């Protein structure tokens, strides 16, 4: 099959959102079926037809969708780990940062719908035991909204959470009640500040050691800026080893 050219931001986010439903549980084939909108009984039994991205690529062939999934693996948004004998999709750090952000936006949109409809959720248990980083980002966005209407939801959530999360929720409640949330920098402002700092700072190429082959490789200035602006950690493998890693996971002989 012909290699897929660069995906759009919307395609990347759509694939990550669909993958979230099966991370650590299944591989590429099931992800393709979700994106295609498969009518298979297994899809319905697992509730995957309720995924927001179910059928997002229904007009495309399975082969075309698979090329996109493989592009995501090659470009370090997803990776394959073998559990027993089964290959499972997992997020890379880069992919998880994007997915975490859009999951938080989904949670916030849901709260906004409740506010518009004047309803209160029956329970906040659905937020318990979620990824800690995602929960803290969610709280940060609530704080930055400076919208005190969220306080009843926060108090209901606080009542069922663990101690450390309860304290983080209390901090947000106090900021909203005091009207100090908006004094915090928004994500966009922080990003702009970082961009300005990077412009002022004279970066120089770095030479990193590949975790796989042990050879040094150049981490140039443009790449450094790209990684820093998006909060990514520097690459662990050299370009050649990254390519070989992807080929191995795809079952392709790179000799």
**By the 8 A CB rule, do 107 and 140 touch?**
no
Residues 109, 115, 118, 124: is their CA dihedral positive or negative? Answer: positive
For 165, other C-beta atoms within 10 Å of its C-beta total 20
3 state DSSP class of 64: helix
pLDDT digits (tens, 9 = 90+) for 195-217: 555 555 567 888 888 888 888 88
**Averaged over 35-42, what is the pLDDT?**
94
Instruction: Tell whether 87 is covered by a domain.
Output: yes
> What pLDDT shows up at residue 47?
94
Of 188 and 72, more confident? 72
Is 1 a member of any domain?
no
- Among 91, 126, 160, the domain boundary falls at 91
What are the tens digits of pLDDT across the range 211-247? 888 888 888 877 777 666 656 677 888 888 877 776 6
Q: Are residues 105 and 160 in the same domain?
A: yes
| 101 vs 205, higher pLDDT | 101
Q: What is the pLDDT of residue 195?
A: 59
Q: What is the mean pLDDT of residues 125-137?
A: 89
3-state percent helix, strand, coil for the chain, nearest multiple of 5 = 60, 10, 35
Asked whether residue 230 is assigned to any structural domain, the reply reads yes
User: Any residues with CB less than 8 A from the CB of 68 and at least 6 apart, and which?
Assistant: 4, 7, 11, 15, 57
Judge whether 207 lies within some domain.
yes
- Identify the domain containing residue 206 by its residue range: 200-249
195 falls within a domain: no
Domain assignment present for 32: yes
pTM (global) more than 0.85? no
Please determine, for residue 167, whether its predicted confidence score (pLDDT) is greater than 70. Answer: yes
Q: Looking at the domain assignment, is residue 84 inside a domain?
A: yes
CATH code of the domain in which 24 resides: 1.10.10.10
Q: Is 214 helix (H, G, I), strand (E, B) or coil?
A: coil
Greater pLDDT, 222 or 255: 222
Which is more confidently placed, 30 or 2? Answer: 30
C-alpha torsion sign, points 39, 11, 25, 246 = positive
């Amino acid at each position: 099959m012909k290699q897929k050219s660069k995906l759009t931001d919307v395609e990347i986010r759509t694939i990550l959102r669909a993958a979230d439903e099966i991370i650590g549980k299944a591989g590429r084939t099931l992800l393709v079926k979700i994106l295609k909108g498969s009518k298979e009984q297994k899809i319905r039994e697992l509730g995957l037809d309720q995924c927001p991205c179910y059928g997002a690529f229904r007009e495309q062939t399975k082969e075309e969708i698979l090329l996109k999934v493989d592009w995501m693996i090659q470009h370090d948004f997803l990776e394959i780990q073998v559990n027993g004998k089964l290959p499972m999709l997992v997020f890379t750090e880069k992919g998880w940062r994007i997915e975490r952000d859009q999951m938080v936006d989904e949670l916030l949109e849901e709260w906004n719908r409740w506010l518009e409809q004047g309803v209160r959720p029956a329970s906040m248990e659905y937020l318990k035991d979620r990824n800690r980083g995602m929960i803290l980002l969610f709280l940060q966005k609530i704080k930055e909204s400076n919208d005190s209407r969220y306080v009843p939801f926060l108090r209901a959530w606080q009542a069922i959470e663990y101690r450390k999360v309860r304290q983080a929720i209390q901090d947000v409640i106090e900021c909203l009640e005091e009207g100090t949330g908006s004094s915090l920098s928004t994500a966009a402002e922080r990003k702009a500040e970082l961009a300005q700092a990077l412009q002022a700072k004279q970066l120089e190429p770095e030479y990193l050691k590949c975790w796989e082959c042990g050879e040094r490789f150049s981490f140039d200035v443009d790449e450094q800026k790209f990684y820093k602006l998006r909060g990514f950690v520097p690459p662990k493998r050299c370009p050649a080893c990254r390519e070989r890693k992807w080929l191995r996971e795809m079952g392709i002989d790179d000799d």
